[in-house]
Structure formats: structure tokens, C-alpha cells
Amino acid sequence: MTRLRVGYVTTYPPTPCGVAEYTGDLVRSIKNLGDLSVAVFADGLTDHRAGFREVVVESAFFPGRSNYTKLLSEIKKYSPLDIIHVQHEYGLFPPSNNFIKLLESLKKYTNALVITLHTVYHTLKGGELVKHQVSICTVADAVIVHSPIMEYELWAQGVSLSKVHLIPHGTRINRSSVKRETVLERLGVGHLRDKFIFAVIGFIRKDKGLDVLLKAFKKVASMRSNVALLIAGTPQGSEGIKHAKEIHKLARDLGPATERIAEIGRYLTRRELSELIKAADVVVLPYRDEPGVLGVSGMLHTVMGCFKPVICCRTPRLSECTALVPEASVVPDDPDDLAEKMLYAVDNYKEFADFFKHLFELAVRTSWRNVARRHLMLYEKVLHTDAGKD
């Protein structure tokens, strides 16, 4: 059997980016499953030379820029490829005619072009953006999305479902145990070890709802003396930096509750992230989604993979949690509803944790090994059939 040659166009570790982490997990898992030759045409933001062995990684483009000359030059060196797989996010590849021309040019160097849309824009976002999105799907031989909401939004925009493939976000399974005290001490928050810890982890941005969480925590802290809030993460982009300053000010103005808030203001390694999730009692994802922007949460899958209870807002990004654990879901932008759910978790922890059986089953079904296997099946399908092509 001929060795499959696959090229990924994506951000890639150690670049601090959710798509980079996603692709790193996918590449590791897919290499462990099959005899593939993999080349990653990555961002030029960090040094990728310490990446996964037996994978070629070339710095080939800069996220947010619409000049793809170097990317095409690097891909040409490795052509012909059986599959070119683009991990698409609008912040990485801004909507432009240049991007559509890039996709058309990529088809000269591959037998099949696969595109994962990590974000799908609803028609609410406007005609030009939707037109661009449909153009992406038209050029691609196969389009991957992570949720039925995204799948049917593309269908509503006129994209054939024969071309759209629903493959869930992968989950890194972590069944290891940690010594809570050791983890908290190592991360500089050892003083929380005797508290019931609510943790919020990830990039600091306005859509993460930290302002709502702080208001909810103020109420919870006034009613329960044994609770603490741990905020771990770093601002993303200039807007994130501005928002982080607002969050710090709000945290300082919470009165007595301020003393029970701890921060780890840096980007955590994957090991630190998993250990912190396991050391916490409940992870809180108080997200607010912008209308018309559809996706899924990689952080939710990280928490699922650590088998940790989580409180989620009812947003498209967290729809898996809403569907499987409605008891742990709250209304976005409602600090009173969130506070009530947090209090319930403190007072009824065993019962609260029991709600998550089905979400943890989903974690196992969406393990990276299973998700990688589905990618391989799709690659074979687009290479050997006309399915999904106009």
C-alpha cells in the first residue's frame, strides 16, 4: 500500500493557540494509527523544531495576513500530496479573495483538499462573509465541522451535506491522579488547598464571561466561607489585554471576596492545565457567544477528558454540555443563575458530580484516537470516491 502523504496548513505548537493545540493532538494521533508521511505548513510565530518526531514542520505563513506566497512555495517543495488539510479559523485566515485563490492554487499540489471550519458564520454575520464561507466550501473536496449546529447552518446556506462531514472535537483522555496539595503549591496557589475551588482556565477575552463569574462569586463567597475562585490564563490580543485590566479592577472591588480569588497569569503547559483541572473541584465556563458565530469549545473537551465536573453557559460553543448535562447549564450573562448553580455544587457535590456520566462517556467516544481514525476514513473516502464533490 502506498504511504499516504498529508500536508496540514495550520498554526502549530508551541504557538499559544487553540487550533495549534488541536492540530498537534490530531497529528500525534493520526501518526500513531497509520503509515503516513506528514508535513505541517505552520505559522511563523514560534520555533516549531521541537515538535513531534517524524513530522516535517515548516514555518510558512503569518496568521492574520493575506500574503500566501511563502506558503505556496513551501507546499510546492513537498508536492504532490495526497491530502492537503487546512485548519481554518477566521482570525488566522481573514476573509479575502486572496484566501480563495490560495485554496484554488493548493489543488494543483494535492489529490484532495480538506478544510476544517473551526468557526462557522451564521447568516446573521452578513452577505459578504456568508458568500466567502460558501466559496471556501465550494473549492474544498470535503469540509469538516464539529457540531450539528455548524453542519446545518452550512446546509441552510446552500452547501451540500454530501460535502460536509461532522467529526467532533477530539478529547485528550487523562485518567491519572494528582496530589492536589502538590499541584497547587507548584503553581503558587497552595493557600487554596483547603478551599472548595472553582476554576476558570484559558485565554482571557471578553467572550469568556469572567465579569459575570466575578459577580456570581461575590454572592457565593458571601454565603459560603469555604469557597475560592482560581483564574488561570493570559490575555489574548490587544482586546484581551484591555479586558484583563477591567477584570483585575472588578476583582479588587469585590470586598471580602477579593481575598479568596487567586490568579495564575500565564499560558499553562498541557501538563499544568490538566493537573490544575484535576486539582480544582469544579471548572466554570461562563462563556457568552457572539450572535452568528458558531463553534465548539476545546476547553470543554479538555475538562471532559480529565473527568471533572463543569458548569457551562447555554451557548453554541458549549452545546454538548447543555445537551448531555442540562443540570449543569446556566443562562449566559446571568450572575444570579450562575451563583445558584455554584452554591448547589458546593452543597451537593456528590450528586452534582453524578450528573456527568453521559458527558464523560462522550469524552471516551471522542478520544483523539477515535477522532483521528475518522479523519483517516475521510481521507480515504475523498481520495477514492467522488463523494462530496460538486
- C-beta atoms surrounding 64 within 10 Å: 12
The whole-number pLDDT of residue 131 equals 96
In the chain, the number of structural domains is 2
Count the helix, strand and coil residues of the chain and give each as a percent rounded to the nearest 5. Answer: 50, 20, 30
Please indicate, yes or no, whether residues 269 and 371 belong to a single structural domain of this protein: no
**159 and 260 fall within a common domain:** no
130 and 16 inside one domain: yes
**Residue 233: which pLDDT band, with cuts at 50, 70 and 90?**
confident
Q: How confident is the model at residue 387 (pLDDT cuts 50, 70, 90)?
A: very low
Say if residue 44 is exposed, middle or buried (CB neighbours under 10 Å; 0-12, 13-18, 19+).
Answer: middle
Is-contact 52 39, C-beta < 8 A? no
> Buried (b) or exposed (e) across 304-343, using 16+ Cβ within 10 A?
bbbbbbbbbbbbbbbbbbbebbeebbbebebbebbbebbb
User: Does residue 330 sit in the same domain as residue 200?
Assistant: yes
What is the model's pLDDT at position 253?
A: 77
Q: What integer best gives the mean pLDDT of the chain?
A: 93
Kindly give the pairing relationship between strand 282-285 and strand 120-121: unpaired
Residues 53, 22, single domain; the answer is yes
CB-based contacts of 66: which residues, under 8 Å, 6+ apart? 94, 96, 98, 99
- Residue 135, domain CATH: 3.40.50.2000
Both 160 and 193 in a single domain? no
- Mean pLDDT for the stretch of residues 206-222: 94
Q: What is the pTM of this model?
A: 0.92
CA distances (Å), 340 to each of 219, 224, 316, 365, in order?
9, 12, 22, 31
Q: Tell me: the pLDDT tens digits for 351-380?
A: 999 999 999 999 999 999 999 999 999 999
Report yes or no on 87 lying in a domain.
yes
Clarify whether residues 116 and 265 are in a common domain. no
For the cut 50, the answer to whether the pLDDT of residue 388 exceeds it is no
Lowest-confidence segment of 74-83, 108-117, 238-247 by average pLDDT: 238-247
> Tens digits of per-residue pLDDT, 131-167?
999 999 999 999 999 999 999 999 999 999 999 999 9
In the predicted structure, residue 385 carries a pLDDT above the cut 80 = no
**138 and 49 inside one domain:** yes
Does residue 389 belong to any structural domain of this protein? no
Clarify whether residues 215 and 339 are in a common domain.
yes
| Residue 208 pLDDT > 80 | yes
Residue 285 bridge partners (DSSP): 312
Q: Is the pLDDT of residue 1 over 80?
A: no
Q: How confident is the model at residue 51 (pLDDT cuts 50, 70, 90)?
A: low
Q: Are residues 305 and 160 in the same domain?
A: no
Q: What is the pLDDT averaged over residues 123-130?
A: 89
The pLDDT of residue 142: 98
Same domain, 249 and 215: yes
Q: What is the mean pLDDT of residues 279-298?
A: 95
- Domain range spanning residue 212? 180-365
Mean per-residue pLDDT, 180-209: 93
Residue 389 predicted with pLDDT over 60: no
